[in-house]
Every structure is written in structure tokens, then in C-alpha cells.
Amino acid sequence: MMPRNAAIVGGGHADWGHREATWKDLAQEAGKATFDDVDGLTPDDVEGLFVGAVQPERFAFQSHVAPLAAELLGIDVTKMISRTELACASGQAALRYAWLAIAAGQLDVALVLGVEKMNLGDEYMAETQASMTNVLDREFDGVNGLNAPSFFSMFAQRHMHEYGTTHEQLARVSVKNKNHAANNPYAQFQTEVDVDDVLDSYPVAPPLCLLDCSGITDGAAGLLLVSEEKARELTDTAAYVTGSGQSCMAGNSINNLPSFSGWPQATQAAEEAYDQAGIDDPVDELDVAEIHDCFSISEIIEYEDLGWVEKGEGGQFAEDGRGELDGDIAVNPRGGLLGCGHPLGATGVSQALEIYKQFTGEVESARQVPDSPETGLIHNLSGSGSVHSVMTLARDPQ
Amino acid sequence: MTDADDTTVRSDGGSEPPRRTVTIPDSIELPRLLDFYDLQDDEHTRISEFYDRLRDGSLSTTECRDCGDLQFPPRVMCPECTSDDLAYVSLPHDGTLFAFSAVRGSGPLGMTEDTPFVTSVVDLDGVDVKLSARIDGADYDDLSIGDPVTLEVVDIDGPTDQHRVFYRFRPRGDTA
Ligand SMILES: CC(C)(COP(=O)(O)OP(=O)(O)OC[C@H]1O[C@@H](n2cnc3c(N)ncnc32)[C@H](O)[C@@H]1OP(=O)(O)O)[C@@H](O)C(=O)NCCC(=O)NCCS
Ligand SMILES: [Zn+2]
């Protein structure tokens, strides 16, 4: 059987932030927003359901969440149903499996849903932070209190040490993304900030400060992914998956990570995706990218390791504004994780949906990428950065 | 349907349904595993020798007798050649700070009383092992990349009768 093309034809979000709502509430809100967004598809049309969710067992004391979501959204799954867990990349992983199922001819219409409930009330932040540390090897690394801010801070420190990257350059990333989020109605952080705000914020995990960090976020996002045949029946503008790569270099615990100032896994995953999509020069050929800015330093390293600039020049890329809406590649027009927050399982789904919305021109005008973008990329890292996942999207399938 | 009427008029003639109180425990004891430290004896883990040696004051790890691969953390199978013929070998107790940060916001469960504390990656001297470790006896602002540090054995005083241990590091020369 020949692989078939698959495309995003719409989707929607729950509001993100500290929500007075349960996991199940969030799933329903995103499901409703998704079906409201897509004319011509209802829950009855969905044959496959793919749910990205990282820790419902801990945050919501609930397992087997995919059939729970199917029931809540009225989806009679006839072909394929599963939940994916790949820490911060769970949403993209769910999307990837949906794509593969459609490509393999197993089904024509899939709902990809990402849901995470992370805020358990201020008095239980320690539980949430514990659940973030056990994403690392708990026995040898999580036990040392390495939550995400302190872990990624060491990448910031090493990158500064090895390449002379400055905190001002990092702050440029936070400013760009948070200012995009200020125009995104579902984002957790909708306040504009400047470089000084970032540098003067509390050094919660030095050298990184509060405004260098994404948040602890309740949120959900859904999208409908359909076969090319179905997409052409439904709409003129869709976002086709053109390539997808993942890499994990047999290293997950601290001693076995390949680097503390770079992610060769990102390079490997991106090369795989570029190759499938026929992209030779990503800076020239990509119009918009949603990349994993869990911390400001992450985006700097990703400029380099996604192959956009030489190693060590990520800070300069930020300083030169090359990732602004009118720059070489519009990076994180959605507001990124820094601005939207990061409900783990929902993030990758939301990023992919943003690429679609940028193609159709449906986003708020203040964060619309100019000149009708036609090609896009999403990237997520997960856990200790041990895995990187990259997917390319385009308005036209090849 | 969600638009069903929500009238408070009762269809059952108005009598109150039976009602009772059920009591659930005030707190629920979680499995020991959830306190971050494993149960370290040979009834619970096959790397108990690592912990036994640490309890005796020595940091160690496994090395493959077939291909010579040195692992950290210790294993039961060699990831290079799949052999399970592994030997415990001692690791140096001195190293240098490769990278470090501090946890100053809310700490993870069980560590909230400890904040702020320094976390780090320590590059052990003379061997290709970098491990994560908390640094005792220093604040973030006192430290620089490359600073010499030395092993500290930590006895865990916790909710099990087992004598559990772990390791941290402290600046070398600091014997406090
Ligand atoms: C950075 C972090 C530790 C801050 O948590 P905290 O110290 O407990 O902060 P609190 O939740 O008490 O919030 C304090 C204030 O800062 C704000 N705030 C919290 N996190 C914020 C963030 N990331 N960006 C901007 N503001 C933030 C809160 O809204 C609150 O503001 P208020 O006082 O006006 O209400 C936490 O947001 C965090 O862990 N972020 C990373 C999430 C993560 O690990 N993701 C996975 C990435 S791989
Ligand atoms: Zn071996």
C-alpha cells in the first residue's frame, strides 16, 4: 500500500492557565472547540482517537484516559485509539501516530487531543514539581531535586560558558514570545514584557529567572487530521504533514546525555524531517516554526541544532531579530511555551494547530506571519532533552 | 441531552432519599517508592551492591567484564554488548563542577524544606563519568564552573526501617 498524505483541517483550544476545571472538563472544552471549528466533521466521523497526556495518573489520579475522552466527546472509535506519553512531546507523538495511521491507510479521520491538568492548588505545587522531576531518571537524577528550571538552567550556564551567550540574548526570546502571547486569547501569560523585566525577575533557578521559564499550566488542544482525499472535500487550505523525525541517542540520565550545550538529537530529528519534506535550506524554505521554548535558552539552542545557524550563534540569531514575525523564520507566533504556558500533553497539538491557523490566516492580526506562510515546522524536546521530535507541515502536499 | 429541565419539583412525591455518611481515612499512606529514594536492599533492587558500598563509604558503579564498558548509573545489563557479567568498580570521590543551578522556587515533594539548594553536574576526576548531585555547604553565588568538589555520603532518615543512603558533593577543602 502506498503511503497517503494527511492534513490538519482545524481544531481548537480550552483556555490555558490556572483553571478551575478538571482534566475531563478541559478535554471537553478542547473537543467542543475543535468540532465547532471544522465545518463538515462531527464526532460521528472520527475513526481514530489519539490522546497526548503525560501524567494524568498523578495530576488527576486517572488512567486509561483515551477511552474516557472518547466517551466524553461522543466518539465511537472504530479503527484505532491510544494515549501517548513522551513527556513534553506527548502531543506531537500523538499527532505522529495519527499521521502514520492515515498514511498507512488504516483510517481517514483522526482526532488528536492533548490534555494536561497540572495545577492542583498552590499548596500542592510541590507535588507538581515532584512529578516534573520524575521525568528524569528518578533514582539518580530526580532525587537530586532537578526540576525542569534547575535542569535547563545548567544548559544556559554551559551555553554562556562555552559560546559567550548572554542573558540579554536569552531575554530577547522571552520578550518575543510573551509579546506574541499577549495577542493570543487562550495563552496563560498575556502581559507584554521587555528585556529588563526578564532580567529583573526573580532568579528562580539561576542563571535563569522567572520570565525565562514556561509555566505550570492547565490546558487542552484538539485538531482533526484527515486523509488528503477527505481534506480536499472539506477545505481549500489545509496543513499537510510533509516530514517527521525523532531521535534519542540511548542517553537519558545525566551521565549519558551527549551534551550540555546542545542537542544533537534535534539535529538528527530535523535532518530526518527535512529529508522527507525535501527541504534543503530550512532558513530559506520555512516560513513559520513553533519550537520548544520551555525555557528561553532552549529556543537559542534550537536555532542552532535545527540547522538554522552555526553552533554558538543562537544568541546572535535572537539579538538580530531573525526569529521575529518579519524575520527569516517567524518563530513561535503563538507565544511559545513561555507565553502560552505548557500543559505538557497539549503543547505539541497546539503548535501544529497554530501552523494550520497561520496558513489559513485565522490568527489575531498582531501575530499573523506576513506574506501568507506556506511551510512550517514544529519541534518538541522531552524529559532531559533526551528525545527530540520534529515535524514539517506545508499547505501543499508534495 | 444537556438542555433537560432542571426543575426542583421532585417526581418521586417529595420524600427525602435515604442518606448516610461514609468515612474515608484522613490520610492515605503512599508506597515508599514515592519518597524518591528506592528501597536499596537485595530484596528490592538488583543494584543493592552499589548502595551497600556507598553505605560503607565508597562510590562505585558497574563495569562490563566482557567489553570493558563503564556505566553510570549502575546496571544489570551492559548496554554496549548485552552481557550481564558486570563487576562493581570504585569511582573517584573527587571531581569538579561541570554545571550548577539552584532550586529557589517551590521544590519537589519531600524537598520543600531544603530550598534554596544547589543542584549540579559533577565531572569525576580521571574517569569519564558525570553525575548529577546536590552540593552541600555552599550557596549558588559562592560557586564557579570548575570548582573542586568531593563526595559526601548522606544517611537518609526517613519513613522506613531500612538504612538508606545517597550521595551529595561539597566544595573540596570544606570539612565542616
Ligand atoms: C518557574 C516556576 C518554578 C515558578 O513557580 P513558583 O515559584 O511556584 O511560582 P508561583 O506559581 O508561586 O507564582 C508566583 C508568581 O509568578 C507568576 N509565574 C509563575 N510562573 C511563571 C512563569 N513561568 N512566567 C511568568 N510568570 C510566572 C505567577 O503567575 C505568580 O504571579 P502572581 O504573584 O502575580 O500571582 C514554575 O512556573 C515552573 O516550574 N515552570 C516550569 C514548568 C516546567 O517545568 N515545564 C516543563 C518544561 S520541560
Ligand atoms: Zn559489555
Mutate to test the interface with B, among A72, A134, A150 (most CBs of B within 10 A): A150
User: A162 vs B160, which has greater pLDDT?
Assistant: A162
pLDDT of B60: 98
Q: How far apart are CA A126 and CA A18, in angstroms?
A: 16
Catalytic residues of A: 88, 342
With CA atoms as reference, report the closest residue to A353 among A1, A17, A52: A52
Residue B148: beta bridge partners? Answer: B96
In a domain, B8, yes or no: no
Query: Are B108 and B123 in a shared domain?
Result: yes
Query: Are B132 and B149 in a shared domain?
Result: yes
Q: How far apart are CA B176 and CA B169, in angstroms?
A: 12
pLDDT of B4: 46
Query: Are B134 and B112 in a shared domain?
Result: yes
**A59 burial class (0-12, 13-18, 19+ CB within 10 angstroms)?**
buried
ipTM of the complex: 0.96
Strand order in the sheet with A375-382: A80-84, A48-52, A109-116, A219-227, A6-13, A239-248, A387-394, A375-382, A288-290, A330-331
**A298 burial class (0-12, 13-18, 19+ CB within 10 angstroms)?**
buried
Q: How far apart are CA A144 and CA A141, in angstroms?
A: 5
pLDDT of A13: 98
Helix (H) or strand (E) holding A226: strand A219-227
Contact state of B121 with A254 under an 8 Å Cβ cutoff: yes
Q: Is A215 in the pocket of ligand 1 (CB under 6 A)?
A: yes
User: B9 vs A267, which has greater pLDDT?
Assistant: A267
Query: Are B152 and B100 in a shared domain?
Result: yes
Last-in-domain residue among B74, B91, B108: B91
In a domain, B97, yes or no: yes
* Domains in chain A with CATH codes: 6-121+217-234 (3.40.47.10), 145-212+242-394 (3.40.47.10)
B113 Cβ neighbours under 8 A, 6+ residues apart: none
Query: Are B110 and B45 in a shared domain?
Result: no
In DSSP notation, A230-260 reads HHHHH-S--EEEEEEEEEE-S--SGGG-S-S
Q: How confident is the model at residue B33 (pLDDT cuts 50, 70, 90)?
A: low
In a domain, B3, yes or no: no
Contact A154, A308 (CB under 8 A): no
Query: Each residue of A101-126: pLDDT tens digit?
Result: 999 999 999 999 999 999 999 899 99
Query: Are B78 and B97 in a shared domain?
Result: no
- Identify which ligand lies nearest to the alpha carbon of B78: 2
Query: Each residue of A85-107: pLDDT tens digit?
Result: 999 999 999 999 999 999 999 99
Instruction: Compute CA distances A79 → A43, A50, A85, A282, whole Å.
Output: 14, 11, 20, 36
pLDDT of A313 > 70? The answer is yes
Beta strands, E only, B53-129:
60-64, 86-90, 94-103, 117-124
Query: Are B174 and B96 in a shared domain?
Result: yes
Could you give the percent of chain A with pLDDT greater than 70? Answer: 99
Average pLDDT, chain A: 97
In a domain, B20, yes or no: no
- Identify which ligand lies nearest to the alpha carbon of A380: 1
Helix (H) or strand (E) holding A12: strand A6-13
In a domain, B7, yes or no: no
Q: How far apart are CA B148 and CA B94, in angstroms?
A: 7
pLDDT of B9: 57
pLDDT of B8 > 70? The answer is no
Query: Each residue of A133-144: pLDDT tens digit?
Result: 999 999 999 999
Query: Are B105 and B172 in a shared domain?
Result: yes
Instruction: Compute CA distances A360 → A49, A103, A286, whole Å.
Output: 24, 23, 16
Query: Are B60 and B102 in a shared domain?
Result: no
Average pLDDT over residues B153-175: 91
A273 Cβ neighbours under 8 A, 6+ residues apart: A243, A244, A245, A279, A377, A390, A391, A392
Contact state of A260 with B98 under an 8 Å Cβ cutoff: yes
pLDDT of A172 > 80? The answer is yes
Residue at grid coordinates 504556558: A341
Q: Is A383 in the pocket of ligand 1 (CB under 6 A)?
A: no
pLDDT of B1: 40
How near does any CA of chain A get to the CA of B15, in Å? 33
Residue A84: beta bridge partners? Answer: A52
With CA atoms as reference, report the closest residue to A308 among A330, A293, A325, A326: A330
With CA atoms as reference, report the closest residue to A379 among A299, A265, A292: A292
The verdict on A59 touching B (C-beta cutoff 8 Å) is no
Query: Are B155 and B87 in a shared domain?
Result: no
Q: How far apart are CA B76 and CA B57, in angstroms?
A: 22
Domain count for chain B: 2
Average pLDDT, chain B: 91
A132 Cβ neighbours under 8 A, 6+ residues apart: A147, A148, B108
Length in residues, chain B: 176
How near does any CA of chain B get to the CA of A145, in Å? 7
Contact A27, A69 (CB under 8 A): yes
A13 Cβ neighbours under 8 A, 6+ residues apart: A29, A30, A33, A186, A219, A220, A221, A222, A350, A353
Domain that holds residue B112: 92-176
In DSSP notation, A147-195 reads -HHHHHHHHHHHHHHHH---HHHHHHHHHHHHHHHTT-TT-S------H
Average pLDDT over residues B131-138: 98
Query: Each residue of B35-77: pLDDT tens digit?
Result: 899 999 999 999 999 999 999 999 999 999 999 999 999 999 9
Query: Are B63 and B107 in a shared domain?
Result: no
- Backbone φ and ψ for A182, nearest 5 degrees, come out as -60, -20
Q: How far apart are CA A324 and CA A112, in angstroms?
A: 29
Query: Each residue of A68-80: pLDDT tens digit?
Result: 999 999 999 999 9
Query: Each residue of B95-116: pLDDT tens digit?
Result: 999 999 999 988 999 999 999 9
Query: Each residue of A377-387: pLDDT tens digit?
Result: 999 999 999 99
pLDDT of B175 > 70? The answer is no
Kind of pairing between the strands at B94-103 and B164-171? unpaired
Q: How confident is the model at residue A167 (pLDDT cuts 50, 70, 90)?
A: very high
Average pLDDT over residues A200-206: 98
**B151 burial class (0-12, 13-18, 19+ CB within 10 angstroms)?**
buried
pLDDT of A342 > 70? The answer is yes
pLDDT of B20 > 80? The answer is yes
Query: Are B52 and B68 in a shared domain?
Result: yes
Classify the C-alpha dihedral A183-A189-A193-A198 as positive or negative. negative
Length in residues, chain A: 398
- What cell was used for B97? 563542577
Pick from B72, B102, B111: CB nearest A205: B102
pLDDT of B27: 86
In a domain, B80, yes or no: yes
Last-in-domain residue among B91, B110, B135: B91
| Half-sphere CA count of B152, side-chain side, radius 13 A | 18
With CA atoms as reference, report the closest residue to B37 among B56, B62, B54: B54
In a domain, B31, yes or no: no
CATH of the domain at B136: 2.40.50
Contact state of B104 with A203 under an 8 Å Cβ cutoff: yes
For chains A and B, count residue pairs whose Cβ atoms are closer than 8 Å. 110
Helix (H) or strand (E) holding A393: strand A387-394
pLDDT of B6 > 60? The answer is no
